[in-house]
Amino acid sequence: MLVNEKVAIEHGLKADEYKKICDLLKRVPNLTELGIFSAMWNEHCSYKSSRLHLKKLPTKGNKVIQGPGENAGVIDIEDNDAIVFKIESHNHPSFIEPYQGAATGVGGIMRDVFTMGARPIANLNSIHFGSPQNKKTKNLLRGVVHGIGGYGNCMGVPTIAGQTSFDSSYNGNILVNAMTLGLVKKDKIFYSKAAGLNKPVIYVGSKTGRDGIHGASMASASFDEKIEEKKPTVQVGDPFTEKLLLEACLELMAGDSIIAIQDMGAAGLTSSSIEMASKGSLGIKINLDKVPCRETKMTPYEIMLSESQERMLIVLENGKEEHAKKIFEKWNLDFAVIGKTTNSKNIELFFNNEQVANIPINTLVENSPMYDRKWKKAKLPKKNKFKNEDFNNLKIKDVLKKILSNYNVCSKEWIWQQYDHTVMGDTIQKPGGDSGVVRVHGTNKAVAASVDSSAVYCWAHPLTGGKQVVAESWRNLISVGAKPIAITNCLNFGSPENEENMGEFVECVQGIAEASKYLNFPIVSGNVSFYNQTKEVGIKPTPAIGGVGLIKNYKKMITMKFKEVNNLVLIVGKTEGHIDQSLFARIILDEKNGPPPEVNLFNEKNNGESILDLIQKDFIKSAHDISLGGLLTAVSKMCIKGNKGIKLNKSKNLMNEIEYFFSEDQGRYIIEINPKDLKEVTKILDKNSVHYEELGIIIDNELIINQKTKVTIDELKSYNSNWLKNYMRS
Partner 1 sequence: MKSSVITFPGSNCDRDMDVALNKFGFVNKMVWHDDNELPKSDLVVLPGGFSYGDYLRCGSMASKSRIMQSVINFAKSGGLVMGICNGFQILVETGLVPGVLLRNKYLEFICKNVHVKVNDKENPYFKNLDKNIFEFHIAHNEGNYFCTKDQLKEINDNNQVAIYYCNEKGQLDDQHNPNGSLKNIAGIFNKEKNVLGMMPHPERMIDQSLSGEDGSIFFDNLINNLK
Of 39, 42, 18, the closest CA to residue 29 belongs to: 18
Q: In what order do the strands lie in the sheet with 175-185?
A: 64-66, 73-76, 81-89, 175-185, 119-129, 159-166
Question: 312 or 626: whose CB is closer to partner 1?
Answer: 312
Q: Could you tell me which stretch among 148-156, 174-182, 582-590, 613-621 binds partner 1 (CB under 8 A)?
A: 148-156
Q: Which residues inside 403-422 make contact with partner 1, applying CB under 8 A?
A: 416-422
Question: 152 or 538: whose CB is closer to partner 1?
Answer: 152
Least distance from partner 1 to the Cβ atom of residue 439, Å: 7
Among 72, 102, 122, 154, binds partner 1 (CB under 8 A): 154
Least distance from partner 1 to the Cβ atom of residue 325, Å: 17
Least distance from partner 1 to the Cβ atom of residue 511, Å: 36
Instruction: Determine whether 710 is exposed, middle or buried from the number of CB atoms within 10 Å of its CB (0-12, 13-18, 19+).
Output: middle
CA-to-CA distance for 697 and 710, rounded, in angstroms? 15
Of 7, 14, 34, 45, the closest CA to residue 216 belongs to: 45
Q: Which residues inside 544-603 make contact with partner 1, applying CB under 8 A?
A: 554-555, 557
Q: Is there binding between residue 319 and partner 1 (CB under 8 A)?
A: no
290 DSSP 8-state letter: G
Q: What angle do CA 175, 455, 478 make, to 5 degrees?
A: 100
- The distance from CA 387 to its chain's CA centroid, rounded to whole angstroms, is 39
Q: Is there binding between residue 514 and partner 1 (CB under 8 A)?
A: no
Q: Is there binding between residue 427 and partner 1 (CB under 8 A)?
A: yes
Question: Following CA atoms 619, 621, 627, 631 in sequence, which dihedral angle do they give, to the nearest 10 degrees?
Answer: -90
Does residue 248 sit in helix, strand or coil? helix
Q: Is there binding between residue 149 and partner 1 (CB under 8 A)?
A: yes
Phi-psi region of 254 (alpha: psi -120 to 50; beta: other; left: phi over 0): alpha
Site string for partner 1, 216-245 (x = CB under 8 A): ----------------------xxxx-xx-
Least distance from partner 1 to the Cβ atom of residue 106, Å: 14
Q: Is there binding between residue 328 and partner 1 (CB under 8 A)?
A: no
Question: 413 or 680: whose CB is closer to partner 1?
Answer: 413
Among 37, 170, 331, 518, binds partner 1 (CB under 8 A): 331
Q: Is there binding between residue 99 and partner 1 (CB under 8 A)?
A: no
Residues 6 or more apart whose CB falls under 8 angstroms from that of 56 comprise: 509, 510, 513
Q: Is there binding between residue 637 and partner 1 (CB under 8 A)?
A: no
Residues 6 or more apart whose CB falls under 8 angstroms from that of 152 comprise: 106, 110, 123, 158, 159, 239, 419, 420
Q: Is there binding between residue 730 and partner 1 (CB under 8 A)?
A: no
Is the CB of residue 216 less than 8 Å from the CB of residue 307?
A: yes
CA-to-CA distance for 248 and 401, rounded, in angstroms? 52
Question: 104 or 427: whose CB is closer to partner 1?
Answer: 427
Distances (CA, A) of 460 to 323, 507, 561, 564: 57, 12, 32, 40
Q: Is there binding between residue 156 and partner 1 (CB under 8 A)?
A: yes
Question: 57 or 244: whose CB is closer to partner 1?
Answer: 244
Question: 236 or 423: whose CB is closer to partner 1?
Answer: 423
Least distance from partner 1 to the Cβ atom of residue 310, Å: 11
Of 285, 405, 265, 404, the closest CA to residue 343 belongs to: 285
Secondary structure tally for the chain: helices H, strands E: 27, 28
CA-to-CA distance for 543 and 286, rounded, in angstroms? 38
Among 25, 31, 337, 423, binds partner 1 (CB under 8 A): 423
Q: In what order do the strands lie in the sheet with 354-360?
A: 258-263, 311-316, 200-205, 334-342, 283-287, 346-351, 354-360
Question: 431 or 596: whose CB is closer to partner 1?
Answer: 431
Among 48, 214, 285, 439, binds partner 1 (CB under 8 A): 439
Least distance from partner 1 to the Cβ atom of residue 197, Å: 37
Q: Is there binding between residue 153 and partner 1 (CB under 8 A)?
A: yes
Q: Is there binding between residue 424 and partner 1 (CB under 8 A)?
A: yes
Least distance from partner 1 to the Cβ atom of residue 55, Å: 40
Site string for partner 1, 453-492 (x = CB under 8 A): ----------------------------------------
DSSP per-residue string spanning 299-335: -HHHHHH---SSEEEEEEPTT-HHHHHHHHHHTT-EE
Q: Is there binding between residue 327 and partner 1 (CB under 8 A)?
A: no
Least distance from partner 1 to the Cβ atom of residue 130, Å: 22
Catalytic option among 11, 53, 90, 128: 90
Q: What angle do CA 569, 571, 576 make, to 5 degrees?
A: 150
Reported as half-sphere exposure (CB side, CA atoms, 13 A), residue 650 has a value of: 3
Of 676, 536, 514, 486, the closest CA to residue 602 belongs to: 514
Least distance from partner 1 to the Cβ atom of residue 46, Å: 35
Is the CB of residue 171 less than 8 Å from the CB of residue 134?
A: yes
Question: 569 or 713: whose CB is closer to partner 1?
Answer: 713
Question: 150 or 283: whose CB is closer to partner 1?
Answer: 150
Least distance from partner 1 to the Cβ atom of residue 253, Å: 17
Question: 445 or 691: whose CB is closer to partner 1?
Answer: 445
Among 62, 296, 332, 393, binds partner 1 (CB under 8 A): 332
Of 499, 412, 457, the closest CA to residue 720 belongs to: 412
Distances (CA, A) of 385 to 100, 651, 655: 48, 22, 14
Catalytic option among 11, 44, 421, 578: 44
Least distance from partner 1 to the Cβ atom of residue 178, Å: 17
Number of amino acids touching partner 1 (CB under 8 A): 32
Residues 6 or more apart whose CB falls under 8 angstroms from that of 197 comprise: 282, 341, 342, 343
Question: 150 or 596: whose CB is closer to partner 1?
Answer: 150
Q: Is there binding between residue 428 and partner 1 (CB under 8 A)?
A: yes
Site string for partner 1, 700-729 (x = CB under 8 A): -----------------------------x
Active site residue 44: yes
**Amino acid type, 213:** I
CA-to-CA distance for 83 and 201, rounded, in angstroms? 28
By CB under 8 A, name the binding residues for partner 1: 146, 149-150, 153-156, 238-241, 243-244, 331-332, 416-425, 427-428, 439, 554-555, 557, 729
Active site residues: 44, 90
